Structure 1
């Protein structure tokens, strides 16, 4: 009976020792073949992602810009406010749900040293500094361009036979200081068409900067991945992601009224950023180590900074500016529609976090 127990114990011990080999211990040759097969399949998904994201980004950023030629999409129409609210919700969810959690994962990884990364919340700190920095750049750039424009207007003689009203309306600019000489004012400088135009231009440029930063990081991460199971759901998720982000950026570009060349450059930069990031990731996939301390720190810092920029821009420059707009404040149906569009945009983008 004791010998039977001993043999049973030895058999059980052998089973414990052999089981991992049976489950995980495939021959080296088969692992290399599976690895090559996975790399080939992953490369196909990466090329599909480049094409899909490029087309979706171009269409997304192009729809609001077409408002100049399609009356229904003109920035003054109610539908444009709804589109911008939806897109702002997408950008807000991108910052909170997609980018910021990734930054927390990167900068709190066990692969990093406990000192200093485990002793201070660097993710929140970097995001806060980025948001404050965005506010400073936003305010400083707007102030600088406003002063510069005011000086240029004061230096130019009034033409058209002294008709100050007509001269002030040239190229969509209104000279507030000339109106004051007639004894009536159209409000403070902050609400003048010129200042609003400058604000839209600053907003569009800063927003594109924040989007480009995290788009490059996303592209490199996808391009460097060798797992088809990881890449497959990312293709669809990032396609929708870039499409909706493009709509938000395109709305800002449309309101900024850049010249055709400037619009084309900004739209092209946005459309190419993620595909170029994927191409870079493919190129460095052999040497790129996702869990290396350097990669974790760089990705974490850039993701945190991008999250701070996107959260600030979506709340302050997109949502607050539109929701406090007199047109929306005086229209209850438009305000309700914008609220619904905002929740839908944020909800749809949050849902995509299940796959990406």
Structure 2
């Protein structure tokens, strides 16, 4: 067994700052996750913040989530399950990649079953509706905005006035909201955000535990402030754009608060077991490696399918957008991924 596997105790320096980090990380995490949600809900704030700011945060957050999956989860998992402190049997197969693969297919199957179940329920009610709201179903083949324009044009072309066109808009909004209020679309969105949150929360607890016992505390602490803020911004931007019935309005706020609490919980737990917890032990490496591998699969699937593909390939608004808007959205996403990947140099 190598020297790095021998536990000699964790450092007891910077105890005050380590305790303070619980509250500092909590504040930065919650601000990053909650601000987009609360800003979208507050009419005074949302009226003064251009829509482009929310769009920038949304695309930036997509890049952050994808980079987190690869750089901050799968990379460390490979190191953890490849540790010399583990039994040699762990070295005969790329277990992190295998676990990530299982995670991707598991999440895909869960979402597929949920989607089919929800679609079948709507079909029995005589309603055709895309549970993801991307305009692929027959009712919304051109997206809600295109349907609205067609209804307005038809109302005016038939000799109606502008009021009649407005009434057509209202009727469309009422019909669309009625479908959403059935709960199937809401359920699909809640399942999607729950999957994303689950992967991020596992990661947040582990990095909090690591921060509490890490020898290079100061560097890791500063990096994690930015890490948690950017990751929170990515989560918050997705939560802010959820279209849920009024009875589910608490879900985005609850999810944002939960994200803000998980890393501090991990730090507090790490401080509690700091004198006995060995981050290089076989048990610690296996637990962290397996959880990181599974979480990476969750975030990879969510980032590539739910965020990237649905936002760019299956979104009618984006397909019809100008080249400038598309280039800007892609740049925001690449910037988010790039900054998060750069932070992987230290954390």
Give the TM-score band, short-chain normalised: 0.7 to 0.9
Q: Distance in 1 between matches of 2:303 and 2:107?
A: 12
Task: Say whether 1:293 aligns with 2:293.
Answer: no
Q: Distance in 1 between matches of 2:27 and 2:115?
A: 33
Alignment counterpart, residue 24 of structure 2, candidates 11, 35, 52:
52
Rg comparison, structure with higher value: 1
Query: Does the 8 A contact of 2:34 with 2:253 survive in 1?
Result: no
> Match for residue 87 of structure 1?
61
Q: CA RMSD in A?
A: 2.9
Structure 1: runs of 5 or more not aligned: 1-31, 155-164, 176-191
Query: Does the 8 A contact of 2:59 with 2:332 survive in 1?
Result: yes
- In the TM superposition, what are the counterparts of 1:249-268 in structure 2 within 5 Å? 249-258=235-244, 259-268=248-257
Task: Say whether 1:174 aligns with 2:164.
Answer: no
* 1:277-297 CA-partner distances (Å, limit 9, x unpaired): 110111111221111111110
More helix by share: 1
Alignment counterpart, residue 347 of structure 1, candidates 335, 338, 342:
338
Q: Distance in 2 between matches of 1:304 and 1:73?
A: 38
> Match for residue 96 of structure 2?
123
* 1:8-59 CA-partner distances (Å, limit 9, x unpaired): xxxxxxxxxxxxxxxxxxxxxxxx9xx99x5141x22322322221111111
> Match for residue 233 of structure 1?
219
Query: Does the 8 A contact of 1:222 with 1:231 survive in 2?
Result: yes
**Cα separation, partners in 2 of 1:51 and 1:171, compared to 1, 3 Å:** farther
* 1:296-323 CA-partner distances (Å, limit 9, x unpaired): 1011000111111111111110111111
> Match for residue 106 of structure 1?
80
- State the SS of the aligned residue for 1:105: helix
**Cα separation, partners in 2 of 1:199 and 1:252, compared to 1, 3 Å:** farther
Deviates more, 1:138-147 or 1:333-342: 138-147
Query: Does the 8 A contact of 2:122 with 2:184 survive in 1?
Result: no
Query: Does the 8 A contact of 1:86 with 1:341 survive in 2?
Result: yes
**Cα separation, partners in 2 of 1:145 and 1:47, compared to 1, 3 Å:** farther
Aligned residues: 290
- Alpha-carbon offset, residue 94 of structure 1: 0.9
**Cα separation, partners in 2 of 1:315 and 1:119, compared to 1, 3 Å:** same
- Alpha-carbon offset, residue 215 of structure 1: 0.8
**Cα separation, partners in 2 of 1:193 and 1:354, compared to 1, 3 Å:** farther
Query: Does the 8 A contact of 2:63 with 2:333 survive in 1?
Result: yes
- Alpha-carbon offset, residue 261 of structure 1: 2.8
* 1:234-286 CA-partner distances (Å, limit 9, x unpaired): 11211111112112212222222453432332122111000001101111112
- Alpha-carbon offset, residue 217 of structure 1: 1.0
Structure 2: runs of 5 or more not aligned: 1-7, 128-169
**Cα separation, partners in 2 of 1:328 and 1:262, compared to 1, 3 Å:** same
**Cα separation, partners in 2 of 1:58 and 1:150, compared to 1, 3 Å:** farther
Q: TM-score normalised to the size of structure 1?
A: 0.74
Task: Say whether 1:201 aligns with 2:204.
Answer: no
Query: Does the 8 A contact of 2:213 with 2:271 survive in 1?
Result: yes
Q: Distance in 1 between matches of 2:308 and 2:344?
A: 22
> Match for residue 20 of structure 1?
none
Task: Say whether 1:244 aligns with 2:244.
Answer: no
Q: TM-score normalised to the size of structure 2?
A: 0.75
- State the SS of the aligned residue for 1:110: coil
